[in-house]
Amino acid sequence: MTRIDGRQLGADLALDTDVAIVGSGPAGASAAREAARLGARVVVVESGPWFDPAEFPASAFAAMGSMYRAMGASVVVGSAPIPYLQGRMIGGSSPINGAICWRLPRDVYDEWIARDAALGEAVPWHVLSAATDEIEARIGVTPTVPAIAGAKNLLMARGAEALGIEHRPIRRNVRGCDGLGLCLQGCPRGRKQSADVTLLADALAHDATVVSSVEAMSITVRRGRATELVGRAACGRCVTVRATRAVIVAASAVQTPVLLLRSKLTHGPVGENFQAHPGVSMAGRFPEPVRMWEGATQGHEVIGLRSEGLKFEALGFGLSILATRLRGVGSKLAAEIAEMDHWLDWGAAVRATARGRVRCVRGRPLVTYSSTRDDIRKFRRGLRVLGEMMLAAGADEVSPGVNGFADRVTGVAELDRLEQSGPGRASAFTVAMTHMFGTCRMGSDPASNVVDPHFRHHKVDGLYVADSSVFPSNIGVNPQVPIMAMAALCARRAVGASVVGSVIGRGR
**CA separation for the pair 240, 218 (Å, rounded):** 10
What's residue 65's pLDDT?
A: 87
What's residue 460's pLDDT?
A: 97
What's residue 1's pLDDT?
A: 61
The backbone torsions φ and ψ at residue 57, rounded to the nearest 5 degrees and listed phi first, read: -65, 150
**Tell me, what DSSP letter sits at residue 403?**
T
What's residue 325's pLDDT?
A: 65
What's residue 339's pLDDT?
A: 87
Catalytic entry in 167, 300, 435, 454: 435
**Tell me, what DSSP letter sits at residue 315?**
-
CB-side neighbour CA atoms (13 Å) of 33:
31
Task: Choose among 50, 72, 95: nearest CA to 320.
Answer: 72
**CA separation for the pair 385, 390 (Å, rounded):** 9
Low-confidence ranges of the chain (pLDDT < 50): 497-508
Any idea of the CA torsion for 101, 28, 19, 213, to the nearest 10 degrees? Answer: -160
Using N-to-C axis directions, what is the helix angle for 26-37 and 480-495, rounded to 10°? 40
**CA separation for the pair 491, 101 (Å, rounded):** 21
User: Which residues lie across from 281 on neighbouring strands?
Assistant: 347
Residues 421, 426, 429, 433, CA torsion sign? positive
pLDDT tens for 357-397 read 999 999 999 999 999 999 999 999 999 999 999 999 999 99
Strand residues in 35-147 grouped as ranges (E): 42-45, 75-76, 82-83, 141-143
Domains and CATH numbers, the chain: 2-51+89-140+193-273+439-499 (3.50.50.60), 143-183+274-356+372-433 (3.30.410)
What's residue 506's pLDDT?
A: 38
Is residue 68 classed as helix, strand or coil in its secondary structure?
strand
**CA separation for the pair 9, 92 (Å, rounded):** 22
- Is 206 marked active-site? no
Residue 349 CB neighbours (<10 A): 29
Q: Is residue 298 within 8 Å of 324, Cβ to Cβ? A: no
What's residue 477's pLDDT?
A: 98
**CA separation for the pair 310, 312 (Å, rounded):** 7
pTM of the model: 0.95
Using N-to-C axis directions, what is the helix angle for 125-139 and 480-495, rounded to 10°? 110
Q: Is residue 215 within 8 Å of 251, Cβ to Cβ? A: no
The backbone torsions φ and ψ at residue 18, rounded to the nearest 5 degrees and listed phi first, read: -85, -45
What's residue 321's pLDDT?
A: 66
